[in-house]
Amino acid sequence: MNIKVGMGSCGIAAGAGEIFDLLVKRAKNTDSGVTPVGCNGMCYLEPIVEVDGKMYTQVSEADVDDILSGIKPLHEAEQNQNRIALRNCGIINPENIDEYIEKGGYQPLNLTPEEVIEKVKASGLAGRGGAGFPTWFKWDACRKATCSSTASPCSDNKKYVICNADEGDPGAFMDRAILEGDPHSVLEGMLICAHAIGRGAPSGNSSLRDGALVEGIIYVRAEYPLVIKRLEIAIIQARERGFLGNQFDIKIKAGAGAFVCGEETALIASLEGERGMPRLKPPFPAEKGFWGKPSNINNVETFANVPWIMQNSGKAANTKVFALTGKIAKGGLVEVPMGCTIKDVVFNIGGGIQGGKNFKAVQLGGPSGGCIPASLQDTKIDYKSLAETGAIMGSGGMVVMDESSCMVDMARYFLDFTCKESCGKCAHCRVGNRRLLDILERICNGSGKDGDIELLEELSEEIKAGSLCALGQTAPNPVLTTLRYFKNEYEDHIKNKKCTAKSCKKLLTYSIDLNKCKKCNLCVKKCAANAITDFVINDEKCTKCGFCESLCKFEAVTVN
């Protein structure tokens, strides 16, 4: 009996660790083997146990004996996905290099650097970190760069391959899942990149090439302890097998979790021990990067695609991983082909909206992405189509909203995040976004005034034009897209002092319908603000907590 237990962070948080230990105990002195695997993407069904290919979901410790005896009902999974970056996640033991090799990993690479770059070019692989820049172009520029071409004096002929694993978008966990479930795919992708840009051979039987010595660094956020643990194990195993060590080695740098360090020059500054603040470009990192040396930076998902591309002779890696969060019925991780629609992801894979409510919008591209309304749900998921809506692909965060979501408050939430994460280097981002947030907070608090909408639009365009890096240049996107598609909600907040989604507390009014009220006195007794007298709610005393509404069994408390 072959037993696999989902031991990603999501599974462990749901109790998979205790279930794993119990299964190991039950399987002792039998021919059964219990293996930890990463997340298979169906986070909403954790903990997940698979026995000889049969899947059991939402497992508790009480279910273990029923699973081993085959009594517990099976779960029929409908993935409807094309998994490339996630091809091994939830399938192999991430702490066992042999299982990765059995899946085709670490194959000998009998190609010249130029041939590797050409295969990456043929695949059309674009940076999955958000910018969508052609991967081959960055690799080619770094290969052609020499130490003598940099602006700083060089004591050695060295280049760097850097993996950006500083995943910081709210609701995004693509990089975490890949590194927890299949760390060797990222290590091998970095090995192949090292071979392409300088000296170092990904396979144990390739000869050492002349050229720059290449070193590898994975910059991962410190809030991912399980990622760091599994990367450390994978690196040790790869060294023992000779894939890492003599010609090319990789070390881990734990970052402090600054969102701005997702920008490559800010990441480099952090690696050098400085504050994570962006630098002017050019020169680009391919010419002058870490310690002034030519450096190539790609994110986790980009590197995870590379070994598959090499194994499939440059075949197009035409998929994107998304983290589905928010008001979605089946939250988790999905990998879908480019060109499918938002509707496909939300309804065919995500199962639609929680509680059968109406689909209202989706925020794509993280806090600096854009809000796409339900009316555009047939928009194709590709870089060009999303850009036409005012959103961006981003790293892959997809926050789904229903009719109870206020678009003004949503814009305020994301602006609050980007304000806190701004490095403060340029005034347009540091001051401009703060002013945007001040206006949004006024509107949500019922103090909006005529001219606020025009001021939001004007400020947003100035911030986009004057900010140094992509954080400031894209931070106004949630404001601009919600204004574009949901201007009526802004007008309701400002002119009518109403929040149609009933989300902004300061704009809500609670009252009691005496025709429904049974005068049970429960709301009067439980109101902490003593705002209810003779079954009338005093709006000045009311804190808008909503407790009275939740208490009333007769639906007599109404909210307007």
pLDDT digits (tens, 9 = 90+) for 260-294: 988 999 999 999 999 999 998 999 999 999 999 99
Q: Would you state the pLDDT for residue 344?
A: 94
The SS3 assignment for 333 reads: strand
Q: Would you state the pLDDT for residue 202?
A: 43
Per-residue buried b or exposed e for 403-414, using 16+ beta carbons within 10 Å of the residue's own CB? eebbbbbbbbbb
Residue 319 pLDDT greater than 80, yes or no: yes
Q: What is the mean pLDDT of residues 84-94?
A: 96
Residue 94 pLDDT greater than 90, yes or no: yes
CATH architecture, domain 319-402: Roll (3.10)
Question: How far apart (Å, rounded) are the C-alpha atoms in residues 197 and 306?
Answer: 14
Put the strands of the sheet holding 370-373 in their side by side order.
332-337, 319-326, 397-402, 359-364, 370-373
Residue 123 pLDDT greater than 90, yes or no: yes
pTM of the model: 0.91
Q: Would you state the pLDDT for residue 414?
A: 94
167 residue type, one letter: E
Q: What is the mean pLDDT of residues 28-45?
A: 89
pLDDT digits (tens, 9 = 90+) for 326-378: 999 999 999 999 999 999 999 999 999 999 899 999 999 888 889 999 999 99
Crossing angle of helices 113-123 and 183-197, in 10° steps, is 120
CB 483 within 8 A of CB 517: no
Q: Would you state the pLDDT for residue 393?
A: 87
Residue 204 pLDDT greater than 60, yes or no: no
Contacts of 58 (CB under 8 A, 6+ apart): 45, 46, 47
3-state SS of 217-261 is EEEEECCCHHHHHHHHHHHHHHHHCCCCCCCCCEEEEEECCCHHH
Residue 489 pLDDT greater than 60, yes or no: yes
Q: How many CB atoms within 10 Å of residue 291?
A: 14
Exposed, middle or buried: residue 127 (CB in 10 Å: 0-12, 13-18, 19+)?
buried
Q: Name the token pair of 264.
A: 């490559």
Q: Would you state the pLDDT for residue 88?
A: 96
pLDDT band at 153 (very low <50, low <70, confident <90, very high): very low
Extended strands (E) in 29-81: 33-37, 49-51, 54-56
Give the least confident one: 156-165, 204-213, 221-230, 470-479: 204-213
The CATH fold assigned to 508-559 is: Alpha-Beta Plaits (3.30.70)
Residue 203 pLDDT greater than 60, yes or no: no
CB 188 within 8 A of CB 105: yes
Q: Name the token pair of 355.
A: 């509680």
Give the chain's count of helices (H) and strands (E): 21, 17
Domain 97-311 homologous superfamily, CATH? NADH-ubiquinone oxidoreductase 51kDa subunit (3.40.50.11540)
Give the least confident one: 17-21, 224-228, 468-472: 468-472
Q: Would you state the pLDDT for residue 207?
A: 34
Q: 178-182, 365-369, 468-472: which has the highest mean pLDDT?
A: 178-182
Q: Would you state the pLDDT for residue 366?
A: 86
Q: 200-209, 410-419, 536-545: which has the highest mean pLDDT?
A: 410-419
Helix residue spans in 382-476 (DSSP H)? 383-389, 407-421, 427, 433-444, 452-466, 470-474
Q: What is the mean pLDDT of residues 213-220?
A: 94
Question: How far apart (Å, rounded) are the C-alpha atoms in residues 529 and 517?
Answer: 20
Q: What dotted CATH number matches 407-495?
A: 1.20.1440.230
CB 336 within 8 A of CB 82: yes
Residue 72 pLDDT greater than 90, yes or no: no
Select the more confidently predicted residue: 120 or 199.
120
Give the least confident one: 192-201, 293-302, 399-408, 421-430: 192-201
The SS3 assignment for 452 reads: helix
Select the more confidently predicted residue: 440 or 82.
440
CB 296 within 8 A of CB 285: yes
Q: Would you state the pLDDT for residue 77?
A: 60
∠ CA 97-100-105, rounded to 5°: 110
Q: Would you state the pLDDT for residue 184?
A: 98
Q: Rounded mean pLDDT of the chain?
A: 90
Q: Would you state the pLDDT for residue 76?
A: 65
The CATH fold assigned to 2-68 is: Glutaredoxin (3.40.30)
CB 241 within 8 A of CB 205: no
Extended strands (E) in 250-294: 250-255
Instruction: Report residue 524 CA to chain centroid gap.
Output: 45
Residue 205 pLDDT greater than 80, yes or no: no
∠ CA 533-536-541, rounded to 5°: 70
Q: Where do the structural domains in the chain lie, given as residue ranges?
A: 2-68, 97-311, 319-402, 407-495, 508-559
